[in-house]
Homo-oligomer: A and B are copies of this chain.
Amino acid sequence: MISLLPHQWLEHVGIAVSAATGVLAARGKRIDLFGVLVLALVTAFGGGTVRDVLVGDLPPVWLRTPDYLFNVVLTAVLVFFVVRLRSPPCAVLLIADACALALFTMIGTRKGVTLEFAASVAVLLGVITGVAGGILRDILTGEVPLVFQPEIHLYATAALCGAAAFVALQRVGLSESAAISGGALLVLLLSLAGIRRKNALPIFESK
């Protein structure tokens, strides 16, 4: 258990940051405190839950350990009332978002590797863990097509590259911690670079 402590600490940070972005997604939409709580829970736990349902590792960790639940509820209520006083600067939010993405992608990929799935499947599980929470949040707030907008794809592409890097680094012989650090850094750099450059993949336009 003691060796897991640093991971759990990081996971709690990632979950709190995700929950906060879920709350901020409710801004300007006449959503009340209950709706905000649902959005925070879905954003924070959505990715990991979809992954755990798919791999059959149920119940997910947030049902087994209520700590995660308290974390999200506390963060959501706090952010809800703080944001009413004053909005956070946009840059802080984007950096936090990218950090949560990097963290969740690594946790998901690591789980896929640990459960001995094929490398391509482990990478896919990492991407799902990283982005599914945000996709579910968008479906609930009625912004469905947002899923297919370039901003999200930057994130997904960054997650894909980072997850692949993690698997590759581990294959090459690096320790797990080193591979995770490398992969997370790549996700972070790519998503932040993408936000700055507004890079996008080719758009589908049939004739």
Interface residues of A (CB under 8 A from B): 26-36, 38, 49, 53-56, 58-60, 63-64, 66, 69-70, 80, 83-84, 86-87, 117-118, 120-121, 124-125, 139-142, 144-145, 147-148, 150, 153, 156-157, 200-207
Give the copy number: 3
**Do B156 and A147 have beta carbons less than 8 Å apart?**
no
Taking A54-B60, A142-B145 as given, write out 8 further A-B residue pairs in contact, using a Cβ cutoff of 8 Å, ordered by the A residue number.
A26-B148, A30-B205, A32-B150, A54-B63, A55-B63, A59-B117, A69-B121, A141-B145
**Do A27 and B201 have beta carbons less than 8 Å apart?**
no
**Do A33 and B142 have beta carbons less than 8 Å apart?**
no
Instruction: Give 25 pairs: A residue, B residue, CB < 8 Å, sorted on A.
Output: A26-B204, A27-B206, A29-B148, A30-B205, A32-B150, A32-B153, A32-B203, A33-B202, A34-B153, A34-B157, A35-B153, A38-B148, A54-B58, A55-B58, A55-B63, A56-B58, A58-B58, A63-B121, A70-B120, A80-B204, A87-B206, A139-B144, A140-B144, A140-B148, A141-B148
Q: Among the listed B124, B139, B204, which residue makes an inter-chain contact with A30, where contact means beta carbons less than 8 Å apart?
A: B204
Q: How far is the CA of A118 from the CA of B68 in the complex (A)?
A: 12
A147 and B203 contact, Cβ closer than 8 Å, known pairs A49-B54, A120-B66, A139-B139: no
Residues of B within 8 A of A118 (CB): 66
- Which 3 pairs, one residue from A and one from B, show the smallest C-beta to C-beta distance? A56-B58, A35-B148, A142-B144
CB distance from A194 to the nearest CB of B (A): 12
Q: Which residue of chain B lies nearest to A45 when distances are taken between CB atoms in the complex?
A: B54
Q: Which residue of chain B lies nearest to A58 when distances are taken between CB atoms in the complex?
A: B56
Residues of B within 8 A of A49 (CB): 54
Residues of B within 8 A of A38 (CB): 147-148
